[in-house]
Amino acid sequence: MQEILLCDLDAFFAAVEQRDNPELRGKPVIVGGLTGRGVVATCSYEARGFGVRSAMPLKKALKLCPHAVLLPVNISRYREVAAEVLAVYRRFTPFIEVVSIDEAYLGVAPGEGLEVARAIKEAVRKELDLPLSIGVSVNKLLAKVACNLAKPQGLKALWPDEVPQILWPLPVGVLPGIGTKTEKQLKERGIRTVGDLAAAPLYLLKMVLGSEALRFKEYSHGVDRRGLVLSRPPLSFSKETTFPRDVWEPEVVRGALMRLAEDLGYRLRQNGFLARSVTLKLRFADFRTITRTRCLAEGINRDSLIYRTAWELFQEFASSPPWRLVGIKVAELSNWKQLSWLEDEREERERMLALVLDALRSRYGRPVVRRASGLKGILPEGEE
Classify domain 236-374 by CATH architecture. Answer: 2-Layer Sandwich (3.30)
DSSP string, 212-281: GHHHHHHHHTT-------PPPPPSEEEEEEEEEEEE--HHHHHHHHHHHHHHHHHHHHHHTEEEEEEEEE
Q: Are 129 and 151 in contact (CB under 8 A)?
A: no
Among 262-271, 285-294, 350-359, 361-370, which stretch is predicted with the lowest mean pLDDT?
361-370
- One-letter amino acid at 328 equals I
> Which residues in the chain are classed under CATH 3.30.1490.100?
236-374
> Which residues in the chain are classed under CATH 3.40.1170.60?
10-77
pTM listed for this prediction: 0.63
Q: Three-state DSSP class for 176?
A: coil
Exposed e or buried b for every residue in 2-11, given b needs 16+ CB within 10 A? bbbbbbbbbb
Q: What is the pLDDT of residue 330?
A: 95
CA count, 13 A, side-chain hemisphere, 176: 15
User: Please, where are the H alpha helices in the chain?
Assistant: 12-20, 45-48, 58-64, 75-90, 113-123, 140-150, 180-188, 194-199, 202-209, 213-220, 250-271, 303-317, 345-364
Q: Distance (Å, rounded) from C-alpha 270 to C-alpha 286?
A: 37
293: CB partners within 8 A, 6+ apart: 277, 278, 279, 280
Confidence of residue 293 (pLDDT cuts 50, 70, 90): very high
Q: Are 40 and 22 in contact (CB under 8 A)?
A: no
Region for residue 256 given its phi and psi (left: phi exceeds 0; alpha: psi -120 to 50; beta: otherwise): alpha
Q: Distance (Å, rounded) from C-alpha 86 to C-alpha 144?
A: 18
Q: Are 183 and 171 in contact (CB under 8 A)?
A: yes
pLDDT over threshold 90, residue 188? yes
Q: What is the pLDDT of residue 384?
A: 33
pLDDT over threshold 90, residue 163? yes
Q: Three-state DSSP class for 119?
A: helix
Q: Distance (Å, rounded) from C-alpha 216 to C-alpha 182?
A: 12
Q: What is the pLDDT of residue 380?
A: 39
Catalytic residues: 103
Q: How many CB atoms lie within 10 A of CB 160?
A: 14
More confident of the two residues 230 and 182: 182
Q: Does domain 3-8+91-221 have CATH number 3.90.1310.10?
A: no
Confidence of residue 278 (pLDDT cuts 50, 70, 90): very high
pLDDT of 5-52, one tens digit each?
A: 999 999 999 999 999 999 999 999 999 877 666 789 899 999 999 999
pLDDT over threshold 70, residue 219? yes
pLDDT of 84-136, one tens digit each?
A: 999 899 888 888 999 999 999 999 988 999 999 999 999 999 999 999 999 99
DSSP string, 47-63: HHTTT--TT-BHHHHHH
pLDDT of 75-84, one tens digit each?
A: 889 999 999 9
CATH for the stretch 10-77: 3.40.1170.60
Q: Distance (Å, rounded) from C-alpha 216 to C-alpha 183?
A: 12
**Does 8 carry a binding-site annotation?**
yes
Burial of 206 (0-12, 13-18, 19+ CB in 10 A): middle
Sequence-distant contacts of 379-384: CB under 8 A, at least 24 apart: 379/255, 380/241, 380/242, 380/243, 380/244, 381/244, 383/241, 383/259
338-364: average pLDDT: 54
**Does 102 carry a binding-site annotation?**
yes
Residues in the chain: 384
